[in-house]
Structure 1
Amino acid sequence: MKKNFGGLMKIKYTGSRLAYICIVSALALFSSLAHGEQKQRLGEWDVHYMVVNTPFLTPEVAADYGIMRSKYNALVNISVLDAKSGEAQQVAISGEARNLIGNNRKLTFKKVAEADAIYYLAVLPFRDQETYRFTINVQRGNITQTLNFQQKMYVDE
């Protein structure tokens, strides 16, 4: 079912714990005026992306997905949907995050499939008020699209 939270975002909720955590995290981030879930249309895909601090995850969910909770770690969450049908797409994802002084961090994504949702998750270590430029390559067959975005990271005390 589609949820619309004040016109800020739409998420296809599948009942999974990860989806629930992402919704709660996005709402918490919106309430603190930080970045939440965002979307870009890349060719025939709607690519949803969200970067949240890992302490927003419960210890149980973090353990289930092998994510280390730390105020210095962010979770990069990518979901690729067919723009017409809204169906989750199985793709190959690679990427990097580069800070403003040029230090590069390779992002290693882990695929998580639950019900009719597919998420690609990576952990990014960061320092307080560090800005990253993300370059995420999404590939399926011979089609490759690149998602670019920038986000400033904050340590939550």
Structure 2
Amino acid sequence: MRKLGFFAVMLVVLAASLLPAQSHAEQSKRLGPWEVHYNAFNSTLLRPEMAQQYGLERSATLATLNIAVLAADVAGKPAQQVTVEGYAMNPLSMQQPLDFQEVVEGDAVYYLAQTSFTNLETLRFFITVTKDGQSQELRFSQEFWRN
């Protein structure tokens, strides 16, 4: 049943990408030995039962981040268990720490966090992925709207 949750999260992300100017589809970046998949979307796009299952809050002013790390040079690209830390920065350079929770569902491993925003605010994300003493930093920006 937990495996269904991962696919439900990805379905929400896909649906969110179809909404005009409301959110962005999943993106990925090659960082050293990893392919890091990431997305951020308004938490109101989560179904109430999904939010409850993962201990996430639904709010018009909360963004949800989803990070998954895959081995970049391995056939089949297995999910990697890593340490994920970071913060979001608003346009006034105020930092909000991100508290990532690891979710393991079968072979899938991903990391979820939430952060607040104001309407039409662009947040910059600074996320560090670490495993076996090696660290890489993911940086991206995204604008959020209240739903």
TM-score (norm 2): 0.91
Shift in Å, 1:55: 1.3
Aligned to 2:70: 81
CA distance in structure 1 between the partners assigned to 2:131 and 2:124 by the alignment: 23
| SS of corresponding position for 2:114 | strand
Match of 2:13 in 1: 25
Gaps of 5+ in 2: none
- If asked which structure has higher relative contact order (CA below 8 Å, sep 6+), I would say 2
The correspondence for 1:69, drawn from 43, 55, 58, is 58
Q: Distance in 2 between matches of 1:78 and 1:21?
A: 12
Identity rate of aligned residues, in percent? 38
Q: How far apart in 2 are the matches of 1:25 and 1:83?
A: 22
The offset of 1:128, in angstroms, is: 0.6
Residue 46 of structure 1 corresponds to 35
RMSD: 1.5
From 109, 117, 121, the equivalent of 1:118 is 109
Question: What TM-score do the two structures reach when normalised by structure 1?
Answer: 0.86
Whole-Å Cα distance in 2 between the matches of residues 131 and 87 of structure 1?
Answer: 32
The C-alpha deviation readout for 1:77-108, integer Å capped at 9, x for no partner, is 10000012211000001000001111110001
- What is the DSSP-based 3-state SS (H/G/I as helix, E as strand, rest coil) of the residue aligned with 2:96? strand
Asked if the contact 1:49–1:79 (Cα under 8 Å) also holds between the matched residues in 2, the reply is: yes
> In the comparison of the two structures, how many residue pairs are matched?
143
Dislocated runs of 4+, deviation >3 Å: none
Residue number among 76, 89, 96 corresponding to 2:87 in the alignment: 96
- Cα distance between partner residues in 2 of 1:144 and 1:93: 10
Whole-angstrom CA distance in 2 between matches of 1:47 and 1:24: 19
Q: Which runs of 5+ in 1 are unaligned?
A: 1-13
1:8 is matched with which residue? none
* Secondary structure of the structure 1 residue equivalent to 2:57: coil
Contact 2:128–2:138 under 8 Å retained in 1:
yes
Whether the aligned pair in 1 keeps the contact of 2:13 and 2:26 (CA below 8 Å) is no
